[in-house]
Amino acid sequence: MGLDSVELVMAVEETFGVSISDAEAVRCETPADVIAVVLGKLRTIEETGCVSQRGFYVLRRALTETLGIERRSVTLDLEIRSLLSGKSDRAFWEELKVATKAGSWPSLVRPRWLVSSLWMLTGFVLLALFRVTDPEFAWAGAALAGVAGMLFTSGFANRIPRTHSTVRDLVPFAVTSTEISWSPNDVAWQVKKLVMEQLGVSEKDYREDAHFIHDFGMD
């Protein structure tokens, strides 16, 4: 395969989160062939339940777009905080959510020192109320103090949660991305866009039955 074809295949794999073998790539002589291969991959993935794999591809692409890191450096065990590069947790978390296009995303949490302080405050209120009122009122007052403290400090929730600190932890959220489900029309439109971008084909010259080499001059 020439350089143009390799770059086109890589772009297709990245866009749809699929893997295309060299043999399959050689058989793709027209955009229609590419569309058929991609649709076959997506149907196979959906039938075998490999949604997590597609979620990983979406998350990997989001990370490379957000941080400009190498695609091969993104693994399931990669620590998210190691990628911040001077960005705040909040800014990075929001950028990654937008890039992933996830419908569900874990919330940031309060720093551990603040959580500990809130627990200490609740305990102090409980002990103080036990001295001056009945136990049921003391527990109610302590609970109220805890809720008030959580509400008052909601703006300080600015840390990536430890329970979602790796790429693996975020895959279940990435599968909620709007990019996960593809209709045939969506696939055809994306292939058209990729062919035009990668091969410099104008929209008026694009046809799904056009030959990549003979009609589009692909290397």
Alpha carbon separation from 85 to 73, 80, 201 (Å, rounded) = 15, 11, 38
Alpha carbon separation from 208 to 41, 183, 192, 205 (Å, rounded) = 19, 17, 8, 10
The string of pLDDT tens digits covering residues 7-26 is 899 888 877 768 899 999 99
Residues whose CB is less than 8 angstroms from the CB of residue 111 and which lie 6 or more positions away in sequence, other chains included: 156, 158, 159
Alpha carbon separation from 182 to 12, 48, 68, 86 (Å, rounded) = 13, 16, 26, 36
Instruction: Give the angle subtended at the CA of 180 by the CAs of 202 and 52, to the nearest 5°.
Output: 135
Section 93-122 average pLDDT: 89
**DSSP per residue over 142-179, as a string?**
HHHHHHHHHHHTGGG--B--GGG-BHHHHHHHHTTBTT
pLDDT score recorded for residue 47: 47
Residue type (1 letter), 142: A
pLDDT score recorded for residue 51: 66
Evaluate if residue 28 carries a pLDDT over 80. Answer: yes
The string of pLDDT tens digits covering residues 129-177 is 888 888 888 899 889 988 888 888 888 888 999 899 899 999 988 877 8
pTM of the model: 0.55
